[in-house]
Amino acid sequence: MNPLGQCLRLARRPALWQRGVEPFWDDDHISKGMLEAHLDPGHDAASRNPRFIDRSAQWLASVIPPREAVLDLGCGPGLYTKRLSGLGYDMTGMDISRRSIAHAKSQDAKSAYLRQDYLTLDRAEAFGAALMIYCDYAALTPGERRTLATNVRGALKPGGLFILDVFTEKHFAAKNEGASWTACAGGGFWDAGPHLLLTATFLYERGTVAADQYVVLTENGAKEHVVWDTAFTARRLEDELAPHGFAVAGFYDDVCGSSRTDEAETLCCVFIKR
C-alpha cells in the first residue's frame, strides 16, 4: 500500500479499546524521549515533578508499614522506587521499558529492577504493598485491568495494600474530540527523521473514555500509536476492584494523601487485600 493509502487507513477512528500495532513504551526512539520527559523537572508530562514525588513518597511511607517489600509497577526510571528504598523499604521496580530500567539500575543499586510487562506478573504473596502511580491503571483496557488486578492480588501478602491513582471526570472535562497535524522536518519525539505527525482525540462512553491517536508518516510509510485513558469515580473504581478481593481502605484527592473532595482531577485509592 502506498504511504498515503496507509496513512488514511490508520487515521480512522479506532474501535473502542483497539490497540495500535506499533510498540510504544519500549520503542527504541520513543523510549529515549520518554526517559528525557521522566527526568525533566520542569514539567509533569511523564513523571510528576520532584517536589511532588518527594511529598508523595513521604505520604506513602506513612501508609505502608515500615520495612515492607514493595512492588512499584510501571516504575519508569525508578523515581519513586529509589526514594522509598531510601526510606527503608525493600523495593522492586517493574517496567517494560528497557531504557528506563537501565537508567534506574544505574542510579539505584539497592533496589531490584525487572524489565517485565506487569500484565505477566506472577509472584505468590511476595509483597506487602504494590504501587501503580500516575494514572497508569486507567491507560489499560478493561480486560487488561482485570488481568492486572488478579495478578496484583496474587502477588500481595494477606492484608497487603494496592495503592493507585487515576484521572477523574474533572480532568476529562477539558477533553474534546479534534485533530491536528505537525510537520517535524528535523525529527522529534515520535521519529528520529523527518515526519508528519497527525494527532487526533476520540471520546467514547459519554466522554469517560478517550483515545489519543498518533499517526506518524515518514518516507518509509506510516505507523500508528493509540493511547487510551479512562475517567474514574470512586464508586466505579471500588466496583471494579472488589470482585478481585480488594476492599477500600481510603480515598484521597492525590497520591500525596490530600483529603478527598471529589473536585480534583485525580483520585488516589488505597485498597487492602481481603
Q: Same domain for 62 and 151?
A: yes
* Residue type for position 100: S
Q: Specify whether 177 is located in the same domain as 159.
A: no
Kindly provide the b/e burial profile for residues 134-144, where b requires at least 16 CB atoms within 10 angstroms of the residue's own CB.
bbbbbbbeeeb
Same domain, 141 and 254: yes
* Rounded alpha-carbon distances, angstroms, from residue 209 to 142, 179, 183, 227, 253: 11, 17, 28, 11, 20
pLDDT at 6: 77
Looking at the structure, tell me whether residues 121 and 12 fall in a common domain: no
Claim to verify: residue 129 and residue 217 sit in the same structural domain: no
Based on the fold, state whether residues 82 and 108 are members of the same structural domain. yes
Count the domains in the chain.
2
71 inside domain: yes
Neighbours of 220 (CB within 10 A): 10
Q: Is residue 136 part of a domain?
A: yes
Are residues 142 and 78 part of one domain?
yes
Regarding whether 186 and 151 lie in a shared domain, the answer is: no
Q: Could you tell me the pLDDT band of residue 25, with boundaries at 50, 70 and 90? A: confident
Q: Answer yes or no: is 69 within a domain.
A: yes
Is residue 46 over pLDDT 80? Answer: no
Find the range with the poorest average confidence among 7-21, 197-211, 259-273. 7-21
For residues 109 and 164, state if they share a domain. Answer: yes
pTM exceeds 0.85: yes
Reply yes or no on whether the pLDDT at 209 is more than 90.
yes
Domain that holds residue 74: 40-168+232-273
Is 30 a domain residue? no
185 in a structural domain: yes
CATH number at residue 84: 3.40.50.150
Q: How far apart are CA 215 and CA 5, in angstroms?
A: 13
Decide if 60 is inside a domain. yes
Q: Are 70 and 129 in contact (CB under 8 A)?
A: yes
Judgement on whether residues 183 and 109 belong to the same structural domain of the protein: no
Query: 94-130 pLDDT, tens per residue?
Result: 999 999 999 999 999 999 999 999 999 999 999 999 9
162 lies in the same domain as 176: no
> For position 226, what pLDDT does the model report?
94
Return phi, psi of residue 50, to 5°: -55, -35
Q: Are residues 100 and 199 located together in one domain of the fold?
A: no
Reported as type and span, the H/E element at residue 164 is strand 156-167
pLDDT at position 1: 63
Indicate whether 27 belongs to any domain: no
Round the average pLDDT of the chain to a whole number and report it. 94
